[in-house]
Every structure is written in structure tokens, then in C-alpha cells.
Amino acid sequence: MSKAEITSWDKNILQVSVPMDSPLRQVNSYILTDEKGRVTIIDPGPRSPDTENCWLGILQELNLSWMDVRDIVVTHHHPDHYGLAGWLQSQSGCKVWMTERAHAEARLMWGDGFGDDAGNGNGKDINDFLPVYFSRHGMTDEWSNGIKAHLESFNSQVEPQPVVSYLNLAEPFRMGGREWQLIVTGGHAPGHVSLYHADSGLMICGDAVLPQISPNVSLLPGSDPQPLETFLQGLRELGSYPVSMAFPGHREPFAGFTHRVNSLLAHHEERLDTAAALLTSGPLSGFAVCEVLFRSRVTSVHQMRFAMSETLAHLAELVRRERAVMLEADGGFLFASAERVREHIS
């Protein structure tokens, strides 16, 4: 069994590095304890027999009982953050806190099935709909055939689902004896919450800002139709806070938060330019663009799913900025340079 590594940071924040599958390999949980010994856990990790044992080991090492665990805050609905919350709640009886929007997304992925107001999905389960959606954007069967099984493989990581209490965004959240401001941003995941303590400048930022890794921005049918725009807006908002130390969902806590935010903003602008340049030689499917942007880095269905969703997020942003247009033909979609289309018409 792999053991969680515990690191103690200034101001009584414990970082727990919970092992998980590659490519990420670990997720950070944070433990904050108040003056009465009441414990709040941020993002407990995905559920597996291994992570359950991990948490039993962590409680033992820290000399804590289930009774001490009062609250869990889940920054967003992804299984590597939300997955174990239900199991921890079943052991401790603690409250599980999320934003209402993030919980809606958890239900979209693993709850009452998939169907949205825009008519996408037709009430089908997203596990069935996503491969069809990717196929319409040009994905070959070789990849799309594996998407459904890949999505289903997450189900066991999020069972049992927790009973969720909604964070009140109008008020600070109290944990570890201090008041934390709630900052909701989307793009990586709708309703993602970061927690900021103004006096110390500490920012617990989940996957909204990560060091070394560019957080995935996915276009998912039935969810946010403009995830990249939402993500960039969120980055600009987060970047406006003075941060002394950031505590991310993966890798190590880091200083230089504003610098990291700015380099992520620049990265996406470069990506948009690269995608736009590809379209100047003629219309391309989302998959064709994805293959060029991510070719050397995609070796698994998991990576392909994120690469494809991120490419579509970039293409949707090019359409929003009127740099590209989406064309529908034979039940599928192509993206064309808006400039080329305008030349053609005039």
C-alpha cells in the first residue's frame, strides 16, 4: 500500500500528498485544525481501497479520530478531489461543503443522468453521449470506442456520493480558526472554489492554478459552452489577489502566484494563435486540430479525452472571438478560419 506524505506548512496547514494513478500521480489534501481540535479537510482524493487505507494511516499518524473530522470542503467535482468525500462522511458524519454549481456538475457526471436545457445529449448518459460528440468532431473510432469504458472507470472512485451542504458565497467560510474568502471561478470545472485568507495572503486554489501543469480546460456538451473564456476570466480575477503562498491541488505549494497566473494566460493566447494558424490552410475537424496540438503527448484514452476537450474549448473561443466559424456538414462539424470564409464570400 502506498503511504500519504504529510508536510507541515506555516500557519497550521498540513499538506497530505495522496497517491493516485498517473499521469498526475498524487493529489494534495489539506488539513486545517482549529483551536478546539476540529478538523477541516480540503479535497480528500479519489476513492479506492488504497486511499481509504491512506486516510486511516493519516488519522493514526496525526492522532485524530473520526470524531475530530467536522468538515470537508471540495474545491470542485473532479473524482480526484471529490471522490472520497462520501466515504469519509460515512465514517465521520462530517459535513461536505461544495458550491451549488459544482454539485450540479457532480450530478451531471455521476448522478441523475445526462440531459441539458440546450437539447444536447437528449437525456442520454454522458458516458454514451461524449464518444458520439467526439466522433462528430472527427475523432476516429480507434479512440472514441475507448471513451465510454474510460468514463465508466471513474464511477467506483466517487461512490458513495456525499450528502452535500452548499457554501454560502456571500460569507467567509470558517476553518482552522480563521475566516476564508470564497472565490468561485470556472473553466477547469464549473463552480470551482478557491479559499483565500487576506491577512496572511494564503490561497488554497485547487486546480484553478497549478504549478508546472496547465490545468485542463474542457468543452463538455451540456456544461459551460465557453469554458476557455470562463477560465481566462477566472485567472484574471485570482491574479488580482495579493498571494504570499498558494496551495494547489497537485504538485507543491508555491510562491509567485501572480507570475504563474500570467504565464497561464499567455500560454492560452499562444495556443489560440497556433490553432487559428492551422485553420488558414483550410477547414479542419476538432480532432485534426487536436492531433497537431497534442500529437506527441497523447498515449492513453485518458489523455486523448482531455486533449480533445481542451482543443474544442480553444476552438469555441476562436469562434467566440470571431476568428473562426464552425461549419456543419454530414452530421459532423468542421472549423474554418473566419478570415478565409469572409474572403470567400466577398
Apex CA 103: angle with CA 201 and CA 258, to 5°? 25
Q: How far is the CB of 10 from Zn ion (least distance, A)?
A: 24
**Residues binding Zn ion: number (CB under 5 A):** 4
Total Cβ atoms within 10 A of residue 229: 18
Q: Which is nearer to Zn ion, 121 or 186 (CB)?
A: 186
Quick check: bond before 160 cis, omega within 30?
yes
Cα distance between residue 15 and residue 244, in whole Å: 16
**Binding of Zn ion at residue 260 (CB under 5 A)?**
no
Count of other CB atoms within 10 angstroms of residue 65: 10
Q: Under rule CB under 5 A, which residues in 222-241 are in contact with Zn ion?
A: none
Q: State how far the Cα of 120 lies from the Cα of 123, in Å rounded to an integer.
A: 8
Contact residue for Zn ion among 105, 207, 229, 317 (CB under 5 A) = 207
Q: CB of residue 310 vs Zn ion: minimum separation in angstroms?
A: 13
In the complex, the smallest distance separating the C-beta of residue 123 from Zn ion, rounded to whole angstroms, is 26
Which CB sits closer to Zn ion, 80 or 291? 80
Element (H, E) at 126: helix 126-136
- What is the smallest separation between the CB atom of 209 and Zn ion, expressed in angstroms? 12
Nearest to 275 by CA among 211, 340, 193, 335: 335
Taking CB under 5 A as the binding criterion, the range among 60-68, 98-106, 242-250, 258-266 that sits at the site for Zn ion is: 242-250
CB-based burial, 102-137: b 16+ in 10 Å, e otherwise: bbbbbebbbeeebbeeeebbeeeebbbbbbebbbbb
Stretch that binds Zn ion, among 130-138, 247-255, 263-271, 330-338 (CB under 5 A): 247-255
Closer of 138 and 162 to Zn ion (Cβ): 162
Please tell me whether residue 78 binds Zn ion under the rule CB under 5 A: yes
Query: Which CB, 29 or 33, lies closer to Zn ion?
Result: 29
Minimum distance from CB of 22 to Zn ion (Å)?
Answer: 13
Contact footprint for Zn ion (CB under 5 A): 78, 80, 207, 249
